[in-house]
Amino acid sequence: MSAEAIAATEGWFQRRGVPHFIQNYNAREDILTRAMPFLVLALLLEAFLFVNPSLPWWVNVLVVGFVLLLIPGIWAGLNFLRGRRLLALPQRVGWVEVAVYLVLPGALAATLDLNWTHLFSLMFFNAVILAVIFAVVSYGLLPILGWAGLLLVRNVRDVAGLFARALPLLLLFVTFLFITEEVWRVAGGLEDALLGLLVGLFVVVTGAFLVSRLPGEIGELETFDSSQRVEGLVRGTPAEELAMDARALRLDAPLSRRQWLNAGLVVLFSLTLQVAFVSVVLGAFFVAFGVIAMDEALVRDWIGQEPQVLLSIDDGTGTVLTLAHVKVAVFLTAFSAFYFTVSIVTNADYRAQFFEDVVRDLRQALAVRTVYVSATEQDAATEVEVAAGR
C-alpha cells in the first residue's frame, strides 16, 4: 500500500476538520506538537505583562527583552539535550514542555515582584489557554470553520432561496408579534443582561435540539452497504488510490467516541454558521421594518418610557432607530432562528436543499475513513505476515 497515499489521506483529514479519523492520533505526537507554536506565541505575548509603569522605561525594556530571549533559549536548550536542531519543532511534547509553559511565566512574575500569588494566577490563566488551544487543534475547529465558510459561500444562493421560502412562514408569526404592544413592552424594556439571558436560552435550546439529532444523523452515515458506494464517494480524494489497491473494504468499522464527536462538530459548526447567516438577514429585516413602521412617539407609548434614540433620520417623518427597535429585533431573531433550525432539520423540503449539503460532505469523509482504515489494517496484517515469514 502506498505510504504517500496514506499520508496524503491523513493530510486530507486535517484539512477537512476531522483529524481524529487518523489512526493512532494522540496528544503528545499529533496535537501538542501542532499546538506548540501557538503556545510559544502566547508566552511571548505574556512577556509584556511584566511591564511595570512605576519603573523606568529602560528597566521595563530589559525585563521584557530578558523574557523574550529566555523563552526561545529554553526551547533551544530542550532541543539540544534531545539531540535535535536548536529551533526545530518537537516531534513529541511531554510533561516537561507542558510544565515549562504553565509554570515559567508565573515563576518569573513571582520572582521579579516577590508576589507569589502571581504564580498561581498565571498558571491558571495559561492552563485555560492550553485547554482552549488543545481543543481547537485536537478537533480541527479552524479547518471546520474554513470548510463551513466555503460551504456557505458555495451554497449562498440556495440558503437565500431557502430563506425566501421560510420567510413567509416566519412572517405569519412574527409580523403580528412585531406590531404587538405587549412584545415591545416586554422585549423593548428588558435590561441588557436579561435580554442576553433570554437570547442565551434560545441558543441553548437550539443547540440542545441539534445535539439530540446528531446520533441519528451520524449513525445513518457511519456504515456503507456496498464497496461500490464507497469507491464512488472517494473519487477525487487522496483515498482513491487506496481504494484501487485495497483487497477488501471494511464497511462496518465503527467510530470511536472521539471520532464521533469530531464528526458531530463538523455538522454542528456547519449548521450553526449557516443559521447565523440567516439570522443576520432576519435581524436586519426586523430592524428595517421597525424603523419604517414605528416612529418615536409610537415606541414611547408602547414601551412606557422615553426611548433611547440611536439614530435619527431627519426627513420630517420622525423616523428613528431606538434601542427598543434593536432589542425587539434581537428577541424575534432568536425566536426565528430556533424555528428555522427546527425546520431545516425536520422539514423534508428544507432538509433536501440545506441540510443534505452538510450530510453529503460528511458522508464523503466517512467513506474516505472506511478506505483509510481498510488500507492501514491491511498494511499492519502484511507486516505481521512478513515478520512471521522471517
Query: For residue range 117-165, what is the model confidence (pLDDT) as tens digits?
Result: 777 888 888 899 999 989 988 888 888 888 778 777 766 666 666 556 6
* Length, in residues, of the chain: 390
pLDDT at 73 over 70: yes
Ranges 254-258, 289-293, 310-314: which has the least confidence: 310-314
Quickly state the pLDDT bin for 312 (edges 50, 70, 90): confident
Span 347-375, average pLDDT: 79
Report whether 224 contacts 364 (CB < 8 A): no
Question: What is the reported pLDDT for 289?
Answer: 84
| Residue 78 in this model has a pLDDT that exceeds 80 | no
pLDDT at 68: 81
pLDDT of the residue at 352? 64
The reported pLDDT for the residue numbered 23 is 87
CB-based contacts of 28: which residues, under 8 Å, 6+ apart?
Answer: 92, 93, 94
> Hey, is 252 helix, strand or coil?
coil
Average pLDDT over residues 4-8: 86
Contact 287, 325 (CB under 8 A): yes
**Which pLDDT value is given to residue 12?**
92
Following DSSP, what letter does each residue of 161-226 receive, concatenated? Answer: HHHHHHHHHHHHHHHHHHT-HHHHHHHTT--HHHHHHHHHHHHHHHHHHHHHHHHHHHHHHSS-S-
The predicted pLDDT at position 85 comes to 80
C-alpha cell at 232: 464512488
Q: Tell me, what DSSP letter sits at residue 31? A: I
Write out pLDDT tens, residues 331-340: 888 888 888 7
pLDDT confidence of residue 13: 92
| Average model confidence (pLDDT) across the chain | 80
Neighbours of 161 (CB within 10 A): 13
Tell me how far apart the alpha carbons of residues 140 and 15 are, in angstroms, rounded to a whole number: 8
**Average pLDDT of the residues in 273-299:** 83
Dihedral pair phi/psi, residue 309, rounded to 5°: -80, 125
Average pLDDT over residues 81-102: 78
The predicted model gives 19-24 an average pLDDT of 89
- Tens digits of residue pLDDT in 196-233: 898 999 889 988 888 888 877 777 777 787 888 888 88
**pLDDT above 60 (res 1):** no
Q: pLDDT by residue (tens digit) across 234-252?
A: 888 888 888 776 667 777 7
pLDDT, position 66: 83
Q: For residue 69, is pLDDT > 80?
A: yes
